[in-house]
Structures are given as structure tokens and as C-alpha cells.
Amino acid sequence: MPEVIIVKDQDEAGELYARCVADLIKGKPDAVLGLATGSSPLAAYRHLAAMVKAEDIDVSKVRGFALDEYIGLPLTHPESYHSTIHRTVVEPLGLDPEKVHVPGDVLDGAPLEDGERIAHAGPAYDAAIEAAGGIDVQILGIGTDGHVGFNEPGSSLASGTRVKTLAEQTRVDNARFFDDDINQVPTHCITQGIGTILKARHLVLLAFGEGKAEAVEETCEGGVSAFCPASALQLHPHATIIVDEAAASRLRHKDYYKYAFEHKPALAGPSDQRPDRHIDMRSRTGAHDGWVPRLGDPSSHGAVIIAPRITYKEVGQYDSITRTDRRAGD
């Protein structure tokens, strides 16, 4: 199952995400980031922008792919996800806008009636992600009904990027971005499918507030079902769910999640103490000898741990980590 990390607030969650991604970019300058809109990722983006500036991280080669876009809104509309991603991610981080994409880039407000253009947009977007080498870290929010991206309840867990009809609850939730007027919220969208999302090498889902508690419970501790699309994260080899106490309030095993994170094996040490290597999953607990735990579940069958100077070996979806400098007794 996913690693569940319970934090005090959005800032603490944002720091965890930002450290993870900043270290990734340092080790892989052309990293591919999966980007989400909504309110949940905003603190994460702010902390990442601060780290990029403070640590003078070169982001000129970083690429990005957003989860979704409304159908019918021109790219210049202030609430289009093209505009939102540029306002909240591209500009603060200093990314190259030509390297950051949303599913609706090729549509630019095309109406549903423009069927041929819309029909080809989804497969073309999936092909572009694949051509970029796949997404390294995908940030996700979650809706009150368990949707991720715009994959509403009932969405296929094997789906690719395609056009979807928005649920009324999603339109109600998003009306806050449209002057609280649901009539301004589009009825359709183009979104990465659950199948596309699951191809990312690391998934990081953020959820805050009591309103997300039921969805978080179903995602983490319910059965895998198309009627809670986020529950598909249980199938991923490296998924991290970061929630505050309110969003975690219905989790039956939250005490264990806290204990597991506090006693996470220390797997990554300072780069001046350890050469580049793949990392075995060892049973040591606690941070000691200057070693620090990293975001990601080290017990999840070889999930990738993102840390400085780690060399990744792709087997399937980056699901194997082995040492490159194995020593006797390791």
C-alpha cells in the first residue's frame, strides 16, 4: 500500500515534497515533473520555489506535464490550467515555459463539437509523456469523492488521457475559482487517465482538511475500486500520501503510519560519505550516523527513494534498487 505520512499542516507537507523534488533535480537536471492544480499543491510549489532559489538549483532543463485541462476555455483564460500552471509553477520556479505542457495545449479552447481535434488530443499527450521518458514525480490532489485529476468515480483504472464529463460535485467544488458561480465552470475536461498516472515513477498525493477525510480513508484503507479512483494508488510500487490530522481523522491505522514514519530505515547519507550507489532495503531504524530518512516507503518492495547521488535502475516502473558497490556484510 502507499506510505502514509501525517503532518501538522500544509507547510510541512510542502517541505517534504519540495525536498524530494529538489534532490531529484540536482541528480537529474532534465527531470520530468507531473503537475497538478487546485489548492492542495500550492504550499508544495512555494517551498520548492524557495529551495530552487536558496540552493541555486538549475531548472533550465526540467520538463513538466499537467494532469488535466478544461474543455472550452482558451489557454489565456485566467482559470484555464494552462494559465494556472504558469502562474503557480512555471513563473515562481523559473521553468522554461516551452518545456511545460497541459493536455489542452493543442486544443486552446476548442469546443466539444470539434470532435476530431479533441479525439486525438488524449493519445497525443500520452505519447508526448512517453517520448519525454515518463514522469519522475507526479503530485496529486484528491477530490471529496475520491477523484484524482479529473477521473471521476467510475473511471477506468486502466484509462489513458481522454475527455471526461465532470461530476456535479466537482463543478461545485471548483466553483470557488469561478466567482462561486457553478454556471461558469465547464462541464467537460481532458485528463490524464488513472492508467497514465500509474506510469509515473513516484506518486505524491496531498490532502488537507476534514472534508477530505472520507476520501483519504477510502483511498488508503478501502478496497481498490473505480468508484474511488484514488484507491488505485494501492497498486503503485511507490506512492506517498501526505495528509494533515484532519484529513487523517478517519484512518483506522493512523497510529501505525506515524510510528512507521518516525522509525523509517535510514537509507540515504551525505554525498561526501557515500559514493553513488543503488540502495538495498535494510532493516535499520532511526536516523543515525548523519543519515536521514527520505520521502517514499523503503519497505514497499524496492520502491525508488529519491535522494542525492542515487543511481536509478529501471525495471518495469523503477521498482528495483540494488547496490552498485556492494560490500561484504551489506
Pairing of strands 202-207, 239-244: parallel
What's the confidence (pLDDT) of residue 295? 59
User: Which domain range does residue 304 map to?
Assistant: 265-330
Q: Are residues 13 and 146 in the same domain?
A: yes
Q: For 209-239, what is each residue's pLDDT tens digit? A: 999 999 999 999 999 999 999 999 999 999 9
Nearest-angstrom CA–CA distance, 71 and 128:
19
Total structural domains in the chain? 2
Task: Write the DSSP string, 220-270.
Answer: HHS--BTTBGGGGGGG-SSEEEEEETTTTTT-TTHHHHHHHHHT-B--B--
Q: Are residues 328 and 239 in the same domain?
A: no
Domain final residue pick, 232, 261, 290: 261
What's the confidence (pLDDT) of residue 111? 84
Between the alpha carbon of residue 151 and those of residues 46, 146, 204, the distances in Å are: 26, 9, 17
Domain final residue pick, 211, 227, 261: 261
Domain final residue pick, 261, 279, 295: 261
Average pLDDT score over residue span 150-161: 95
Q: Are residues 55 and 149 in the same domain?
A: yes
For the entire predicted model, the pTM comes to: 0.81
Instruction: Identify the CATH number of the domain in which residue 90 sits.
Output: 3.40.50.1360
Q: Are residues 223 and 286 in the same domain?
A: no
Q: Are residues 41 and 15 in the same domain?
A: yes
Q: For 186-198, what is each residue's pLDDT tens digit? A: 999 999 999 999 9
- Residues that are catalytic: 68, 145, 147, 152
Q: Is the pLDDT of residue 112 over 60?
A: yes
Q: Where do we find the cell 522509525? A: 263
Q: Are residues 35 and 135 in the same domain?
A: yes
What's the confidence (pLDDT) of residue 303? 35
Name the pLDDT band for 290 (thresholds 50, 70, 90): very low
Nearest-angstrom CA–CA distance, 293 and 227:
34
